[in-house]
């Protein structure tokens, strides 16, 4: 079994030097090749053996939306006003630190202009990473269509391919038409997507994408949906969340059956993969590319970010979908509770008894007024 250092390259999950050692060395790269080691699998069994997946497939067919005609693209967007409104929301919710917290840091003398510029860059960066993650989901779901052995799962996964294409479309268009710039993919996110695509085992594609990446995305979209007042983005996120909840439920419903028959050794391998994915996703939210663009050395500011209690709350909330879903799959307590100990170590275990997405996805459907709350 692997140690924490073997899994993520460091014994201490908060080792700033090791986190920053992972960088995107080719920011101008356009095409990125990853070996896909899985076999494409046909099945000649067309019986409807999994009614829960068939129900999800029917929900997907009626839940389609058109990114071109269903969003108010004609609406003017004032990015500066959006950032000011978001900052006001953060202050009202107790999610913003005053400048005294940054005493002794490179940003201690920043004024309103610098923080406004940072907020705009942060929004560009955040939505860029969502865009890159959605393309990762597009590729991974196409792989699931090929590799999953079940007829019902292939049908549902085919609808998710269309969903992910639509998500790539809307985030790219919003960045191009309404905001002020793109960012290249974060190195931690790229490593995780590479690992998911590269693994030959179809259930690992499910675990990495449907449970971990999509689970975090669902929580992040919900948080942003609550915070933003910009009408296009708010509606865009609402539509995307209706899809993402089905996607995560697809992973929960599929993997529960598979993991019930696995050995302790096999489950430990899945636990390790889930922990590695969780740490990589946490590391990407340190936004080192934004600090670099703002002329601030990441190594000098990230220790403050790691100590910021408001950021800790935000990052913990991002795991509010992942932890209960891992519990539903039996991963928390398999292999002597190894994953429970790791999630306790990174401070997210308190979400274990929240409702899992396999049960709640209907609350995110477009015929519901609002999605289930993600954060208070």
Average pLDDT over every residue of 307-324: 84
239 Cβ neighbours under 8 A, 6+ residues apart? 65, 70, 71, 170, 366
Asked if residue 339 is part of any domain, the answer here is yes
- The structural domain count of the chain equals 1
Give, in order, the Cα–Cα distances in Å from 351 to each of 1, 88, 267, 310, 344.
26, 27, 21, 17, 10
Identify the residue with better confidence: 17 or 360: 17
Asked if residue 215 is part of any domain, the answer here is yes
pLDDT tens for each residue of 347-368: 899 999 998 887 778 888 887 7
Asked if residue 28 is part of any domain, the answer here is no
**What confidence score (pLDDT) does residue 375 get?**
42
Asked if residue 43 is part of any domain, the answer here is no
**What confidence score (pLDDT) does residue 185 get?**
95
- What is the sign, positive or negative, of the torsion defined by CA atoms of 261, 267, 269, 275? positive
Half-sphere exposure (CA, 13 Å, Cβ side) for 133?
28
pLDDT tens for each residue of 104-121: 999 999 999 999 999 999
Asked if residue 16 is part of any domain, the answer here is no
Give, in order, the Cα–Cα distances in Å from 113 to each of 102, 117, 213.
16, 6, 34
What length does the chain have? 376
CB 87 within 8 A of CB 50: no
**What confidence score (pLDDT) does residue 370 get?**
61
Token pair belonging to 329? 């799959």
Determine the Cα–Cα distance for residues 243 and 9; give it in Å rounded to an integer. Answer: 34
Give, in order, the Cα–Cα distances in Å from 375 to each of 206, 211, 231, 278, 348.
26, 19, 20, 19, 14
Q: Residue 192's domain is classified under what CATH number?
A: 1.20.1260.10
Domain housing 209: 77-364
247 Cβ neighbours under 8 A, 6+ residues apart? 137, 141, 160, 163, 210, 214
Asked if residue 372 is part of any domain, the answer here is no
- What's the chain's average pLDDT? 91
Asked if residue 40 is part of any domain, the answer here is no
Asked if residue 314 is part of any domain, the answer here is yes
Does pTM surpass 0.95?
no
Residue of 347, 24, 47, 38 whose CA lies nearest to 206: 38
Token pair belonging to 74? 């004609």
Determine the Cα–Cα distance for residues 200 and 195; give it in Å rounded to an integer. Answer: 10
Average pLDDT over every residue of 266-288: 92
Residue 8: band (very low, low, confident or very high) from pLDDT cuts 50, 70, 90: confident
Token pair belonging to 68? 């071109």
Q: State the greatest distance between any 2 C-alpha atoms of the chain, in Å, as a whole number.
A: 67
Identify the residue with better confidence: 16 or 80: 80
**What confidence score (pLDDT) does residue 366 get?**
85
Q: What angle do CA 226, 228, 234 make, to 5 degrees?
A: 85
Determine the Cα–Cα distance for residues 335 and 342; give it in Å rounded to an integer. Answer: 12
């Amino acid at each position: 079994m692997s140690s924490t250092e073997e899994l993520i390259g460091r014994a201490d999950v908060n080792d700033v030097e090791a986190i920053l050692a992972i960088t995107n060395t080719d920011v101008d790269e356009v095409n990125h090749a990853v070996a896909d080691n899985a076999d494409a699998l046909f099945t000649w069994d067309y019986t409807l053996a999994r009614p829960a997946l068939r129900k999800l497939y029917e929900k997907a067919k009626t839940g389609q939306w058109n990114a071109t005609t269903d969003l108010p693209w004609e609406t003017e967007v004032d990015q500066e006003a959006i950032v000011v409104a978001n900052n006001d929301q953060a202050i009202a919710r107790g999610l913003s630190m005053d400048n005294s917290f940054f005493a002794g840091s490179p940003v201690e003398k920043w004024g309103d202009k610098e923080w406004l510029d940072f907020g705009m860059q942060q929004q560009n960066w955040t939505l860029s990473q969502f865009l890159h993650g959605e393309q990762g989901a597009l590729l991974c779901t196409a792989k699931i269509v090929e590799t999953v052995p079940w007829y019902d799962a292939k049908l549902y996964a085919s609808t998710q391919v269309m969903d992910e294409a639509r998500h790539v479309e809307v985030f790219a268009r919003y960045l191009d038409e309404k905001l002020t710039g793109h960012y290249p993919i974060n190195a931690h996110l790229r490593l995780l997507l590479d690992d998911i695509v590269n693994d030959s085992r179809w259930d690992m594609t499910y675990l990495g994408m449907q449970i971990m990446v999509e689970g975090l995305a669902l929580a992040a979209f919900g948080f942003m949906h609550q915070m933003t007042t910009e009408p296009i983005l708010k509606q865009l996120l609402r539509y995307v969340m209706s899809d993402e909840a089905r996607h995560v439920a697809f992973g929960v419903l599929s993997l529960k059956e598979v993991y019930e028959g696995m050995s302790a050794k096999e489950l430990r391998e899945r636990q390790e993969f889930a922990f590695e994915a969780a740490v990589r996703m946490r590391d990407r939210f340190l936004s080192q590319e934004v600090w670099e663009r703002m002329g601030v050395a990441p190594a000098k500011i990230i220790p403050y970010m790691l100590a910021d209690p408001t950021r800790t709350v935000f990052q913990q909330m991002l795991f509010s979908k992942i932890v209960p879903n891992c519990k539903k799959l039996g991963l928390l307590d398999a292999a002597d509770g190894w994953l429970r100990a790791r999630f306790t170590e990174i401070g997210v275990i308190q979400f274990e008894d929240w409702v899992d997405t396999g049960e709640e996805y209907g609350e995110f459907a477009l015929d519901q007024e609002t999605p289930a709350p993600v954060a208070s």
